[in-house]
Amino acid sequence: MKRMILMIILALLLAGSAGAEKPLRVVCTLTDLAWLAEQVGGQDAEVVALCPGEYDPHFLPAKPSFARRLGKADLLCYSGLELEVGWLPVLMDKARNRKLHPGGLGELDCSQALERVLDIPTGGISRAQGDVHPEGNPHYLLNPHNGVLVMRLMAERMAVLRPKAADGFRDRAEVAVVDLQKRIKAWEKRSASLRGQPVVQYHQQWEYLADWLGLKILGDVEHRPGIAPSPRHVSKLATQARKANVELLLAAPWNHLDAAGKAAGRMSARLVVLPPAVGALSGVSGYGEMFDRIIEDLLLGKGGNDG
Ligand SMILES: [Zn+2]
């Protein structure tokens, strides 16, 4: 009898320790990645984002608190394509976390999920000349099909890091994928009238969105990132834009909106400030809400010009 009770206690202890496996600590550089990781991770992951949604992810100040978060992480998910090159390596040096060693299981370059990278430079590119996309355009999460690919990639990596929770990661990812794909169909239908529309963008932020929705990007106001555009460049672009009947100039909340507004005026176009990230504008609290807002604002901007 005593032996039986001991065995039952032992079995309960074992079951308890298996169930109490600690959640995976996931640090994402971006709010979009964090949203996707949360869908996949569920109760088996604790997810945080480093760059707040309202900050330009090219130029995030590297705060010591970010390094502390990285120091405790089991998994780092980042955009890659050099989006975070200005601040992530500095933080990683300070974090000294062996689990996140480059090329190891604890670091996940989410751009590896992509089937296609846009704007890959064809030569003569240098950071000194202000090119911030030397490996191609890193703003790929603005095509929701890429969100699908990234969730699946995350699920596979989380499954390797926490084998006991592998089914949970994969199942949750597929549920989220089905939901996102349903919404993608609805967005595509809702935005059908935007197909073929010529637009101008401030920064090369919207290439993947344009590629998805069929917008035609005529040019960029920003000549060098972070620096107000030259009058000569804007003047040339404005002439082209007027000729092509461009109605919309797309910008992010952190762009030079004064310069963007003036450029839009010269093009007789409407400046549309869209959320390029989860949390970039108030009310944009999820990846789906971001596309809801982007499409509504594009349609509104276009309608406003027609009327
Ligand atoms: Zn960029």
Going by pLDDT thresholds of 50, 70 and 90, the confidence category of residue 21 is: confident
Structure confidence by residue, pLDDT tens digits, 290-305: 999 999 999 999 886 5
Going by pLDDT thresholds of 50, 70 and 90, the confidence category of residue 123 is: confident
Whole-angstrom CA distances from 13 to 7, 107, 152 are 10, 33, 34
Q: How far is the CA of 14 from the centre of ligand 1 (A)?
A: 50
Does some domain include residue 74?
yes
Structure confidence by residue, pLDDT tens digits, 53-66: 999 999 999 999 99
Q: How far is the CA of 284 from the centre of ligand 1 (A)?
A: 20
- pLDDT for residue 132: 78
- 8 vs 112, higher pLDDT: 112
Going by pLDDT thresholds of 50, 70 and 90, the confidence category of residue 16 is: very low
Judge whether residue 218 has pLDDT over 80: yes
Q: How far is the CA of 130 from the centre of ligand 1 (A)?
A: 11
CA dist., res. 154 & res. 157, Å (int) = 5
How many structural domains are present in the chain?
2
Identify whether residues 166 and 203 lie together within a single domain. no
Collapse the DSSP code of 278 into the 3-class scheme (helix H, G, I; strand E, B; otherwise coil) and give the result.
Answer: coil
Structure confidence by residue, pLDDT tens digits, 274-286: 999 999 999 999 9
Structure confidence by residue, pLDDT tens digits, 66-81: 999 999 999 999 999 9
- pLDDT for residue 307: 38
Q: Which of 160, 186, 212 delimits the end of a domain? A: 186
Range 43-56 average pLDDT: 97
Q: How far is the CA of 148 from the centre of ligand 1 (A)?
A: 21
Q: How far is the CA of 79 from the centre of ligand 1 (A)?
A: 11
Identify whether residues 244 and 258 lie together within a single domain. yes
- Full residue range of the structural domain in which residue 248 is found: 191-306
Exposure string over 217-251, b if 16+ CB within 10 A, otherwise e: bbbbbbeebeeebeeebbeebbeebeeeebbbbbb
- pLDDT for residue 8: 58
Collapse the DSSP code of 271 into the 3-class scheme (helix H, G, I; strand E, B; otherwise coil) and give the result.
Answer: strand
Burial class (CB in 10 A: 0-12, 13-18, 19+), 187: middle
- 20 vs 124, higher pLDDT: 124
| CATH at residue 159 | 3.40.50.1980
pTM attached to this predicted model:
0.91
Structure confidence by residue, pLDDT tens digits, 166-177: 999 999 999 999
- pLDDT for residue 121: 86
Range 262-272 average pLDDT: 97
Identify whether residues 149 and 246 lie together within a single domain. no
Whether residue 73 contacts residue 26, with contact meaning beta carbons closer than 8 Å, is answered with: yes
- pLDDT for residue 126: 59
Collapse the DSSP code of 173 into the 3-class scheme (helix H, G, I; strand E, B; otherwise coil) and give the result.
Answer: helix
- pLDDT for residue 134: 87
Identify whether residues 258 and 174 lie together within a single domain. no
Q: How far is the CA of 99 from the centre of ligand 1 (A)?
A: 28
35 Cα distance to chain centroid: 9
Calculate ∠ Cα 213-36-112, nearest 5°.
Answer: 75
